[in-house]
Amino acid sequence: MPIRPENKARYPSDWKEISLRIREEAGQLCEWCQKPNGELVTVASGGRWYDATCYMWRGNDGDLISEDPLEEEKKDIKVVLTCAHLNHTPEDNRRENLAALCQACHLAYDAPHKAAERLRRKNENDS
């Protein structure tokens, strides 16, 4: 995920190296759904995706699933592996706080936090 300019100072100067190390430790796979970094994959609803390495579909948790979403709308996406701060604190770069996540998993993980932040800012502005 791109770092917002207003948050850039919160990241360490060696963030690119830290992020690369985390992605390499994960084998360039999303730690949650197993999508491969840089690859074009077919996705269906609910986060299911086609794993061409084993010719099967995977769920959004990375587990192999037997059903083929034949009738569902599908699209091809290029997987971009990111490095997520699990506690949403960019200053906290302990390994246990970092995860290599594809863009879909990262966005889904951040969604509740971002919604709470928007509500907090709205409430501050309304006061």
Return per-residue pLDDT of the chain as tens, 127 residues.
678 888 889 999 999 999 999 999 999 999 999 999 999 999 998 889 999 999 999 998 999 998 787 778 899 999 999 999 999 999 999 999 999 999 999 999 999 988 888 888 888 788 7
For the chain, percent of residues with pLDDT exceeding 70: 98
Burial 14-30 (b: 16+ CB within 10 A, else e): eeeeebeebbeebeebb
At 25 the pLDDT is 98
How far is residue 80's CA from residue 11's CA, in Å, rounded to a whole number? Answer: 20
Domains of the chain by residue range: 5-126
Nearest alpha-carbon partner for 83 in 75, 94, 73, 67? 94
